[in-house]
Structure 1
Amino acid sequence: MKAFVITAPGEASVQDVAPPIAGPGQVVVDVARVGVCGTDVEFFTGEMQYLHDGKARYPIRIGHEWTGTVTALGAGVDRRWLGRRVTGDTMLGCGVCRRCLRGLQHVCEFRFEVGILGGFPGALAEQLAVPVTSLFELPDTVDDVLGALVEPGGNALRAVRGAALEPGDRALVLGAGTIGLLIALFARQQGAEVHLMGRSARSLDYARSLGFDGVWTDADLPDLPFDAVIDASNAATLPARALDLVEPGKRVVYVGLAGSPSLVDTRTLALKDVTAVGILSASPGLRGAIDLYASGAVDPRPLVAATVGLSGTREILAGNRPAGAGLGPKLHVDPRLA
């Protein structure tokens, strides 16, 4: 089958590889759509921390925001899965440790991460093998575009839940990329007054096109009381800025990751009596994201600017937007396309 393979920083191509075989408890999925995210870009550039920690190595097959159809079953898998449209959890815990048994497989010390950690092949390929326990069935109202937005949506929904927003609360989202905009969409659906802070004029104009009026740069951010500040950026300075901006007694949520360490003064955290929440993984938010997409309560499809085939993946990772792409921040790959 065809698969996209990164062999070194800046070096990648579509290769012929052996198709996956469903082992016991696994299924094979024909992949229909894959989202490309910042983690994938970091593997392409060589900046991904897992590469430096020895937790991942080249060659690597990336892709963890995916949807497709189950076409083969391994031993012990219920036949009802055959032909089902699905997406799946990125985090594959060992299933037997203390964390996994308490429903925290996404922070299992021994976990694999699809297309990221432990050499588990990713979804930027014609087919993908994954454990059946990681699957989520998709209703007909969740099409392929939405299916590939479930994983980032789960992260965003968890961030909103972590903010503990009440209707009428004022929330500030730092970062107007895919995760920041998804957070804004979920927070608005829950009745919050949503503000976004970003940098580029293109991203801010696009946020306004989605109906958000409170869109700012750091320079013109109004002096307002924010009941929650959610950092969805990759700027090392913004975690501390989030703490400065949030109201005493309220919440800051950290879902973005910077390439260098961020410094937060815990004296400020304590003296303002602020609750800080860290978010890793979409796992506990996947079902909620699917339900909100299925009902139409949140529709993030406009965020997808273009869809290319496997052969167009390298250009996307190199920072080049496809000709004719829209203004949205998200780019998708359909492995069925030439």
Structure 2
Amino acid sequence: MQALTVRPGKAGSLTVEDVEEPPAGPKELLVDGLAIGVCGTDKEIASGQYGWAPPGRDTLVIGHESLGRVVKAPPDSTFSAGDLVVGVVRRPDPEPCRACAHGEFDMCRNGRYTERGIKEIDGYGSMRWCVETDYAVAIDENLADVGMLMEPTTVVAKAWEQVRRVGQRGYFEPERALITGAGPIGLLAALLSVQQGLDTHILDRVTDGPKPGIAAALGATYHHDDIDDVASRLRPDVVIEATGAGPVVFGAIANTATYGIVCLTGVSPAGRRLQIDAGAVNRELVLENDAVVGSVNANLRHYRQAAEALGKADKDWLASLITRRVPLSRAGDAFTAEPDDVKVVITLDDAS
């Protein structure tokens, strides 16, 4: 069968090659791959900046935003042939640390976790794959065309959970949210904001293409002005930051409402310097009871939250996020950005 592989640490090594079909263990599902989503992490791995091959190997099957259909399931499992499923990305460390031992492997404390398609375990970018029943999540058949959005939705489901938990240290009834960045993470964060009944605003630098229309169709207000101008007018109760851009991060932190919460989901590149008034930032955080929290990855609870959110969402709106579908045979095209890209997907069941 064919799979999308890379040699971690070696730029330009992304290729589609023949690999052996994986044998399913007694507690594993055998799954026909349908599609994978491509995100910034995949591009970093493909460019040699990131990623670890499985022990004893120099190649890694990439793809962590999965979607597949069960071919064979263990008889004592809750799955059946034909079920639509996604595979969880992270696995707890083998010790395990205290967080992993309590099912919070997204909060692993010693860094010995592994991740499908990223760190030491092959991913889901192959025509057929296996996954442990404990790390598979069934999703509604109505999501057959968009189910690969599950993994990025888990990231924002966790982000919103973190916001709620921080907010509940006191009285917390947010009314307005600002989402910075209108990529897949930002737009899905806005979806969950709208589902919570919040007055939702999205900030992105682009002024044309599909993003403004996608935001409008969701019922959110789209902005493209400077972060300080937008945030100072809105004074949001919650900011979900999905750009990782330093000026946007600190502009958001400086302009929330009193008792505001900023959740950072965008990963900033190292080496970029920004002059800030650290004293003013500290003073405002303390005097206004503000909070800033980082959030990444997800555990099984967040997958269930994401499945619920996607199940309630308008399917046409979800489909509008997927702006390109590329067959596995031309997978390299998915790693070259085009002007109107939002979410690019590689189809695994059509290699032509």
TM range (shorter): 0.7 to 0.9
Structure 1 62/80 Cα, relative in aligned 2: closer, same or farther at 3 Å? Answer: closer
Give how far 1:192 is off: 0.7
Contact persistence 1:207–1:215 (CA under 8 A): no
Q: What corresponds to 2:156 in structure 1?
A: 156
CA distance in 2, matches of 1:176, 1:47: 24
**Structure 2: how far apart are the matches of 1:243 and 1:287?**
30
- Alpha-carbon separation, structure 2, partners of 1:93 and 1:274: 32
* 1:294 pairs with 2:296: no
Q: CA deviation at 1:295?
A: 3.2
Per-residue CA deviation, residues 69-95 of structure 1 (Å, 9 max, x unaligned), is 122457x96384443221121111147
Distance change (3 Å), C-alpha of 1:249 and 1:38: same
C-alpha distance in 1 between matches for 2:265 and 2:69: 30
State the 1:316 CA deviation: 1.6
Unaligned runs of 5+ in 2: none
Match of 1:216 in 2: 224
- Asked whether the 8 Å contact 2:187–2:215 carries over to 1, the reply is no
Identity %: 26
AA aligned opposite 1:205: P
1:202 deviates by: 3.3
Equivalent pair of 1:77/1:132 in contact (CA under 8 Å): no
Deviation at 1:169, TM superposition (A): 0.9
1:88 match: 87
Deviates more, 1:29-38 or 1:240-249: 240-249
Match of 1:205 in 2: 212
2:96 equivalent to 1:78: no
Single out whichever of 280-289 and 61-70 deviates more from structure 2: 280-289
Say whether the 8 Å CA contact 2:94–2:112 is kept in structure 1.
no
TM-aligned CA deviation for residue 29 of structure 1: 1.3
1:35 paired residue among 12, 34, 37: 37
Q: 1:312 aligns with which of 323, 330, 347?
A: 330
Equivalent pair of 1:13/1:311 in contact (CA under 8 Å) = no
Q: In structure 2, which of residues 252, 262, 265 is the aligned counterpart of residue 252 of structure 1?
A: 262
Distance 2:100 2:258 in 1: 35
Q: In structure 2, what is the Cα distance between the partners aligned to 1:55 and 1:160?
A: 35
Query: Are 1:267 and 2:292 counterparts?
Result: no
Equivalent-residue separation in structure 1 for 2:270 and 2:298 (angstroms): 23
* RMSD between superposed Cα atoms in Å: 3.0
Q: 1:280 to 1:79 in 2, by over 3 A?
A: closer
- Partners of 1:196 and 1:295 in 2: CA distance: 21
Q: Distance in 2 between matches of 1:58 and 1:77?
A: 36
Against the structure 1 CA distance between its residues 208 and 167, is the aligned structure 2 distance closer, same or farther, given a 3 Å change threshold? same
1:334 and 2:334 equivalent? no
Q: Deviations over 1:295-324 (max 9, x none)?
A: 346752210012111122212213247xxx
State the one-letter code of the partner of 2:135.
S
Q: Distance in 2 between matches of 1:272 and 1:167?
A: 16
Query: Given residue 195 of structure 1, which amino acid in structure 2 is its aligned partner?
Result: H
Unmatched runs of 5 consecutive residues or more in structure 1: 322-326
Residue deviations 1:207-245 (CA, integer Å, cap 9, x gap): 444343342321652622211111111313332222112
Structure 2 matches for 1:1-338, cutoff 5 A? 1-7=1-7, 8-48=10-50, 50=51, 59-73=59-73, 78=77, 80-94=79-93, 97=96, 98-108=98-108, 109-118=111-120, 120-141=121-142, 143-164=143-164, 169-202=175-208, 204-210=211-217, 211-218=219-226, 221=230, 223-260=233-270, 265=278, 267-268=282-283, 269-283=285-299, 284-296=301-313, 299-320=317-338, 327=340, 329-337=342-350, 338=352
1:213, 1:10 → 2: CA distance? 40
Matched AA of 1:70: V
Q: Distance in 2 between matches of 1:224 and 1:114?
A: 39
Distance 1:26 1:55, change over 3 A: same
1:150–1:56: structure 2 CA closer, same or farther, 3 Å change rule? farther
1:145-177 deviations in Å (ceiling 9; x for gaps): 331111111112222333338776111111111
Q: Say if 1:146 and 1:293, in contact at 8 Å, map to a contact too.
A: no
Q: C-alpha separation between the residues in 2 aligned to 1:199 and 1:55?
A: 42
* Local SS of the residue matching 2:309: helix
CA contact (8 A) 2:63 2:125 kept: yes
SS at match of 1:237: helix
Give me the whole-angstrom Cα distance separating, in 2, the residues matched to 1:128 and 1:16.
Answer: 13
Alpha-carbon shift at residue 28 of structure 1 (Å): 2.1
For residues 259-293 of structure 1, the C-alpha deviation after alignment (integer angstroms, 9 at most, x for no partner) is: 12688847243333212222111323211121222
**Cα pair 1:167 1:192 within 8 Å, conserved:** no
Aligned equivalents of 1:58, 1:145: Cα separation in 2: 33
- Shift in CA distance, 206/56, structure 1 to aligned 2, threshold 3 Å: farther
The 10-residue stretch of structure 1 (264-273 or 285-294) with the greater mean CA deviation from structure 2: 264-273
